[in-house]
């Protein structure tokens, strides 16, 4: 199984890359996570938020692996406990499919990305900085994996 974490935003601070890298390297080969960074759509006086989100959505749709099942991270999605994520991760692994997890830009995900998702996952009702979301997601995936393999990390 491969999980592709598709995130809008590039040029992350060192602490984000270090935090993400720490958990990514802990995951075994049978649960690899590939980070795909996409540029922000242009925002400013001459470009609307809608146009920026549309461009981000197009880039995101192009980055989703052929045949991947899609999970959107969305504040309006369903909150999962760590144990629920572990059950989901186990189901994902048993399905034999690959997954793309989508993290939108500052204005969220484009409507077509949300429509494509088979599930919408909310990390929190809080608004979280996008760089931090990457670290939270990879850490939770590692934690879920550790639960499935009775590793003491979760304790």
3: pLDDT strictly greater than 90: yes
Instruction: Tell whether 127 is in a known binding site.
Output: yes
CA 35 to chain CA centroid, nearest Å? 9
Instruction: Tell whether 125 is in a known binding site.
Output: yes
Q: What is the pTM of this model?
A: 0.93
Domain assignments of the chain as residue spans, ordered by start: 2-149
Torsion angle (degrees, nearest 10) of CA 23, 26, 32, 36: 30
Instruction: Tell whether 116 is in a known binding site.
Output: no
Instruction: Tell whether 123 is in a known binding site.
Output: yes
Task: Tell me the pLDDT tens digit for each residue of 14-69.
Answer: 999 999 999 999 999 889 899 999 999 888 888 788 899 999 999 999 999 999 99
Q: Is the pLDDT higher at 87 or at 43? A: 87
To the nearest 10 degrees (0 to 180), the angle between helices 130-148 and 14-26 is: 20
Instruction: Tell whether 38 is in a known binding site.
Output: no
Instruction: Tell whether 73 is in a known binding site.
Output: yes
Architecture of domain 2-149: 3-Layer(aba) Sandwich (3.40)
Cα–Cα distance measured from residue 95 to residue 104, given in angstroms and rounded to the nearest whole number: 26
């Amino acid at each position: 199984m491969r999980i592709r974490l598709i995130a809008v935003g590039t040029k992350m601070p060192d602490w984000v890359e270090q935090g993400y890298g720490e958990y990514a390297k802990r995951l075994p080969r049978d649960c690899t996570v590939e980070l795909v960074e996409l540029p922000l759509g242009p925002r400013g006086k001459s470009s609307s938020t809608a146009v920026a989100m549309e461009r981000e959505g197009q880039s995101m749709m192009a980055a989703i692996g052929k045949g991947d099942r899609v999970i959107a991270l969305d504040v309006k999605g369903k909150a999962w406990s760590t144990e629920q994520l572990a059950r989901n991760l186990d189901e994902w692994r048993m399905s034999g499919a690959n997954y793309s997890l989508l993290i939108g830009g500052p204005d969220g995900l484009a409507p077509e990305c949300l429509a494509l998702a088979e599930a919408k996952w909310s990390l929190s009702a809080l608004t979280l900085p996008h760089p931090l979301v990457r670290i939270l997601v990879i850490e939770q995936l590692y934690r879920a994996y550790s639960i499935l393999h009775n590793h003491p990390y979760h304790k």
